[in-house]
Structure 1
Amino acid sequence: MTETAFPARWEHRSRGARLALWFGWLGLVALFVWCWQVMTETTIWTFVADAPRQAADIGDRMFPPRLSYLPELLVPLWDTLNMATLGTLLGVILAVPTAFLAARNTTPSALLLRPVALFVIVASRSINSLIWALLLVAILGPGILAGIVAIGLRSVGFIGKLLYEAIEETDVRQIEAVRATGASPSQVLDYGIVPQILPAFWGITVFRWDINIRESAILGLVGAGGLGLKLNASLNVLAWPQVTMILLVILATVVLSEWVSARVRAAVI
């Protein structure tokens, strides 16, 4: 009489895989504990325990906001809007050629120019606008010019990355149809690629402008002008009602820019 052969029980993971997963989680927990100790070794826990009372005290001092301070914020607000708009324009001017050099289907040299363009995009996205502003204030001096250039350099990576991805996703059949008519490379670019990426370009640009308004509102903290400069001055003298007024103006500006951005993107996409 022969024994009946039963199939082996199915397991989602093998024993070795389960052990590796368990040790992986154990190592992750150990890493978290070690990082927590490093981050909190200089923490004064007395201050942390007193934080709710301090926060409540500052919140009480911030209200009501000083409405009479609003006229003094109109010029800094205008500077902030100009900083965001001109910085976005500078970013677009720099990002468009960078995107065409980075895209596989439009770059003249995949071995040389494309890696350089990708490096520019990554470098721009890796450095925060506040850091750009700190460097540029040291080079150009305090003022709105440093903020405009900082916003522009920060915008290159964002616009360039999304735009070159849009270029690579263009319909090859439309490009080949234009090329089949005997069009030159510049005509293929004008009639085969640009019309396809134009809606994405406007959507990306407006979206970045919306982001830049939020960023330009705080660049004054490092001397780049705008509302951030007023905010820094009010914080230095502990004028909390003025701080509240500035925060309300920033909030209203961001909400308005978000509404404008959404309407424009809905119209062009």
Structure 2
Amino acid sequence: MSEAAPTLHPAAPAKWERFTFGQRMLRYVLWIFCVWAIVQSVRYIEVIPEFLYDAPEQMGDMLGRMWPIDWAYFQPDVLQGLTETLHMATLGTVLSLFLALPLGVMVAPNVTKSRTLNFIARVLLVASRSVNSLVWAMLFVAIFGPGPLAGMFAIALRSVGFVGKLIGEALEQTPKGSIEALQATGAGKFAQLWYGYWPQIKPAFWSVALLRWDINVRESGVLGLVGAGGIGVVLNTCIDLFQWDRVALVLFTVLVVVAVAEIIVLQIRKRVL
């Protein structure tokens, strides 16, 4: 008598899941946290419904007062403020480059082997980036008094962290071949920096410098709101006196200057770098 053939049961089809159970639970927790954070933020910003509903009408009234623009106010007040703004941005950027270069060298561990110097440089760069330019401007206005000098130092110290961090990262990413060749010939530390590292990071350095100058032109326009000179002083004066046609002139001038600065930086990067 022959044995019966075993019965074969088809395997259950595999079920594909994009996330595991733990990942799904984590996503739900994050969504709940985001909703909670939004609800708490709306509660604490103290939205006044009457002002919110009236905002479109007030905006239309303000725009109506801005037109026609008072073009006669451009010279000498707006022109002088604009000149101060450009000078502050340029000198602040140059000063930040001189301060950021040594910090960028110190923060790169492949260039500076001391962990203590790496830590000190990193703390200084983080401290520079963590303080807003308006806060720096308020501090320097208290030290030097109102004027463009306070604005220049505020721009410089704000820019040091940005420039130094990018320079340090560029130094860390440089290939080791040329550096090892210089070390094999007995070249000193300065020679390694000048002939080995600098040619490799030079395009990145000038690109960062141009980008930071472009950013500083924009930031320096508002430093005058705290008394640090520039076109922001003119803007603040016009707002305090409710001269909305002159406010429109200042805002239009800032827009044109920022656009021209963007074009200049773009053309320099295309033709030089």
TM-score by length of 2: 0.92
Taking a change above 3 Å as real, the CA distance of residues 27 and 218 of structure 1, as seen in their structure-2 partners, is closer
Taking a change above 3 Å as real, the CA distance of residues 103 and 38 of structure 1, as seen in their structure-2 partners, is same
Question: Deviation of residue 16 (structure 1)?
Answer: 4.2
Report the equivalent of 1:93. 98
Taking a change above 3 Å as real, the CA distance of residues 14 and 215 of structure 1, as seen in their structure-2 partners, is closer
Report the equivalent of 2:68. 64
Tell me if 1:223 matches 2:227: yes
Tell me if 1:104 matches 2:109: yes
Tell me if 1:137 matches 2:141: yes
Instruction: Give 3-state SS (helix, strand or coil) of 1:147's partner.
Output: helix
> How many angstroms apart in 1 are the aligned matches of 2:205 and 2:33?
45
CA offset digits 1:6-41 (Å, max 9, x no partner)? 2553322333443343233223322322222122xx
Report the equivalent of 1:189. 193
Taking a change above 3 Å as real, the CA distance of residues 141 and 24 of structure 1, as seen in their structure-2 partners, is same
CA offset digits 1:103-156 (Å, max 9, x no partner)? 11111412x110111111111111111111011111211011100000000010
CA offset digits 1:129-185 (Å, max 9, x no partner)? 111101111121101110000000001011111111111111111211222222122
Report the equivalent of 2:126. 122
Note if contact 1:125-1:157 (Cα within 8 Å) is conserved in structure 2.
Answer: yes
> How many angstroms apart in 1 are the aligned matches of 2:210 and 2:27?
45
Q: Give structure 1 regions of 4+ aligned residues with deviation exceeding 3 angstroms.
A: 14-17
Percent of pairs with identical residues: 45
Question: Deviation of residue 202 (structure 1)?
Answer: 0.9
Question: Deviation of residue 81 (structure 1)?
Answer: 0.8
> How many angstroms apart in 2 are the aligned matches of 1:2 and 1:14?
34
Taking a change above 3 Å as real, the CA distance of residues 151 and 17 of structure 1, as seen in their structure-2 partners, is closer
TM-score by length of 1: 0.94
Task: Flag the structure with larger Rg.
Answer: 2
Q: Tell me the number of residue pairs that the alignment of Structure 1 and Structure 2 aligns.
A: 266
> How many angstroms apart in 1 are the aligned matches of 2:141 and 2:177?
48
| Equivalent AA in structure 2 for residue 34 of structure 1 | Q
Tell me if 1:75 matches 2:42: no
Report the equivalent of 2:166. 162
Instruction: After superposing the two structures, state which structure 1 stretch, 29-38 or 121-130, moved more.
Output: 29-38
Structure 1: segments with no counterpart, 5+ residues: none
Instruction: Give 3-state SS (helix, strand or coil) of 1:158's partner.
Output: helix
Tell me if 1:49 matches 2:48: no
> How many angstroms apart in 2 are the aligned matches of 1:171 and 1:258?
32
Report the equivalent of 2:3. none
Report the equivalent of 2:259. 255
Report the equivalent of 1:37. 43
